[in-house]
Structure 1
């Protein structure tokens, strides 16, 4: 996820609702997947394969990473062998099979899994890039757990070669500048996307993995992102599927950040292509609105998005966190029972709005922020703020 100002909220008309008989979101035929799902309702597994110290500080400290700003920095601090051991322990324990049971029990049908390009280790420059090794078997294990529970999986390239945003730990490296936006870095990303595409189609553990997002939250103002990277990424994934003999009805859905993100419109090069979805991130915390309880509710109730062409749209990240300047004020104190009633309404207002489109994926499932559950779906349910049944949103929103 990104801790900076979002682009203006789009005022375009709402996206059409996705129906299961449409090609739409769930992509290829997936064994054991429950086709009765008509909306994506999910959670991000943030800080599993790319740790963000702000949201997992206890884990970060226990691993020995100290004041390191990113995984790259921690590997340099611990050395490759020491880092590999520390990260292996993290992957073993941070998200367990019990978490998947709980996700299912809480009425959710989807997980979005942020990963770095270094998951495919052949893409890493070992002489200059310091990143943890050995994560791929743990991804295999995770998606296998999801498949056994009919939970849909979105694989998200969250950390790109060279970093797609500066000074952001979600890229895996706290890089002073984003150096992703050139052909040789794009080529490494294509390798990641092609290796993962082949693995998804040939490894039974990925039976409910139906979507791959080619890049999370790219920096703005890079023309080649659309004309070169997006166009070629789509082609490379489809070429890989063609080489495997995958029919169109079994192809992956390929996801791109929507034009509302502000880094260009993928549809400029993808118009007429099949099996595409768009990702919109809706953090009102950083939106240019009045930051009050009334404004948050009214904004979410009236929120609509998509330009009418870029459909289906999934709100791939959102939360219950409010503007930093007021988040510790008594009127927004998450421990206050009266405030919990308001947060419950705001959760519902966001859900009903995002389901005007294709659905939503909350950021995140698990955090280590003490009693502040505003970034953790699990903690919010456990605190009695979010109901176990997302169907209750319509009656709670008050829109």
Structure 2
């Protein structure tokens, strides 16, 4: 609960100091002052959620857990852990967000995977919610870099607990 509250407060603070929250007004997207906003953005698909169609691995590994299994078959369990640590740390950086701002982008969509924030319910002990720092740290860093560049951040809980889609019943990392 503490993490959600802190993240929410940070987001509200940044939004109120910078360009504010966006909302719909008829068929327009407008800022807090009612000014029309045209979003020019980039989706960060593949960073927190790997999908076979995006990585072109569908013929042999479509859902994220299959992609991870294939990597593990090649480099082993420890190598896979190291690979994913480096992959997540370098998938998007401050330099990337700074560049997007210079190129005229004003929004980023962040597809998020729940298991970077909390484990599956089956792994919870005594029915208590366990928080994982990794996802919050990644999100907080991205939020900070977006705020510094006056870029809107669109949060997308893309891989929700329980799975999703027709062929992706399991989105584990």
TM-score (norm 2): 0.61
Question: What residue is the counterpart of 1:50 in the other structure?
Answer: 49
Map 1:84-103 to 2 at 5 A. Answer: 84-103=81-100
Whether the 8 Å CA contact 2:108–2:154 is kept in 1: the answer is: yes
Q: Cα–Cα, structure 1 residues 49 and 108, in superposed 2: closer, same or farther, change >3 Å?
A: same
Whether the 8 Å CA contact 1:112–1:154 is kept in 2: the answer is: yes
The alpha-carbon deviation at position 156 of structure 1 amounts to 0.3
The alpha-carbon deviation at position 55 of structure 1 amounts to 2.8
Distance 1:156 1:80 in 2: 29
Match of 1:71 among 59, 64, 67: 64
Greater helix share, 1 or 2?
Answer: 2
Provide Cα deviations, 1:28-62, integer angstroms capped at 9, x if missing partner: xxxxxxxx7723322111111111233335xx8xx
Provide Cα deviations, 1:232-287, integer angstroms capped at 9, x if missing partner: xxxxxxxxxxxxxxxxxxxxxxxxxxxxxxxxxxxxxxxxxxxxxxxxxxxxxxxx
Residues matched between the structures, number: 134
Which stretches of structure 1, 4 residues or more, deviate above 6 A after TM superposition?
A: none
Q: Secondary structure at the match of 2:53?
A: coil
Whether the 8 Å CA contact 1:88–1:134 is kept in 2: the answer is: no
Question: What residue is the counterpart of 2:148 in the other structure?
Answer: 148
The alpha-carbon deviation at position 95 of structure 1 amounts to 2.0
Distance 2:36 2:94 in 1: 22
Q: Secondary structure at the match of 1:68?
A: coil
Q: Secondary structure at the match of 1:114?
A: strand
Q: Secondary structure at the match of 1:146?
A: helix
Question: What residue is the counterpart of 1:172 in the other structure?
Answer: 171
Q: Cα–Cα, structure 1 residues 162 and 49, in superposed 2: closer, same or farther, change >3 Å?
A: same
Distance 1:80 1:121 in 2: 21
In structure 2, list runs of 5 or more residues that go unmatched.
1-25, 125-132
Whether the 8 Å CA contact 1:118–1:124 is kept in 2: the answer is: no
Match of 1:17 among 28, 43, 56: 28
The alpha-carbon deviation at position 124 of structure 1 amounts to 4.8
Q: Cα–Cα, structure 1 residues 37 and 109, in superposed 2: closer, same or farther, change >3 Å?
A: farther
Distance 2:61 2:136 in 1: 23
Distance 1:92 1:118 in 2: 16
The alpha-carbon deviation at position 97 of structure 1 amounts to 2.1
Q: Secondary structure at the match of 1:121?
A: coil
Whether the 8 Å CA contact 1:88–1:135 is kept in 2: the answer is: no
The alpha-carbon deviation at position 126 of structure 1 amounts to 4.0
The alpha-carbon deviation at position 76 of structure 1 amounts to 4.5
Q: CA RMSD in A?
A: 3.3
